Amino acid sequence: MNLILFGPPGAGKGTQAKRLVAERGMLQLSTGDMLRAARTSGTELGQRVAGVMDRGELVSDEIVIALIEERLPETEAAGGAIFDGFPRTLAQAEALDRLLKGRGKRIDSVIRLRVDNDALLDRITKRFEDEGRADDNPETFKTRLAAYEAQTAPLIPYYQSQGRLHEVDGMGRVDQVAADIDRALDRVPA
Ligand code: ADP
């Protein structure tokens, strides 16, 4: 099964993706993690994306699509992928559909985590204090949220019109959100 965890920054996608990996053995593909890893290891790609990420803007479609494409073969061996933080633009969503189709696969479900903006700011402020991720500072976070509203939220009607979107309340406790996701996944046709 291929699954997209969808939602604004701070919605809890990474937390839920890690749980699904542990419980179902699927592979998490987080473009944010891949880009941060590229920066940490100081690759040319890492250097190229650093400024954009630190401003809270989106990295180019071309770069993130290539990162995902490279990893697709592994996801098949794992029984499926959890896409976390990808796709973030319509062009990325269309590319993902095309790439999967070329491999005889598809996105089976899109789980949208709904969280209100005040809660997001609280969560990210706390993560900034705990983990010190530079792009979690309140100013940059506003840019990230604006990028989500302008470029990523339009994917909601895209997936809705294909009947693949499932909404989950992301405001509850981590285990409640997890249970709601499991319920949504149980309804996905095999
Ligand atoms: P978030 O907590 O905002 O969901 P991520 O770890 O997913 O954070 O992403 C961090 C940054 O990496 C983004 O602000 C953006 O600059 C870049 N990035 C990650 N995924 C993508 C993507 N699919 N398209 C463009 N940029 C991305």
pTM for this model (two decimals): 0.94
Confidence of residue 189 (pLDDT cuts 50, 70, 90): confident
- Residue 154 CB: number of other CB atoms within 10 A? 12
Q: Are 107 and 2 in contact (CB under 8 A)?
A: yes
pLDDT digits (tens, 9 = 90+) for 25-73: 899 999 999 999 999 999 999 999 999 999 999 999 999 999 999 999 9
CA 1 distance to own-chain centroid: 16
Q: Rounded to an integer, what distance in angstroms lies between the CA atom of residue 62 and that of residue 70?
A: 12
pLDDT digits (tens, 9 = 90+) for 13-30: 999 999 999 999 899 999
Ligand 1 pocket test, pick from 13, 58, 112 with the greatest ligand atom count within 8 Å of Cβ, gives 58
In sequence order, the β-bridge partners of residue 81 are 27
User: How many DSSP H helices and E strands does the chain contain?
Assistant: 9, 5
**In the predicted structure, residue 117 carries a pLDDT above the cut 90:** no
At 85, list the tokens: 């933080």
- Computed over every residue of the chain, the mean pLDDT equals 95
Ligand 1 pocket test, pick from 35, 121, 124 with the greatest ligand atom count within 8 Å of Cβ, gives 35
For residue 134, the CA-to-ligand 1 centroid distance in Å is: 13
pLDDT given at position 147? 96
Name the residue type at position 171.
Answer: M
* Residues assigned a catalytic role: 13, 88, 127, 133, 144
pLDDT given at position 76? 93
Q: Are 95 and 31 in contact (CB under 8 A)?
A: no
Confidence of residue 75 (pLDDT cuts 50, 70, 90): very high
At 169, list the tokens: 């309340």
Name the closest-CA residue to atom 12, ligand 1: 32
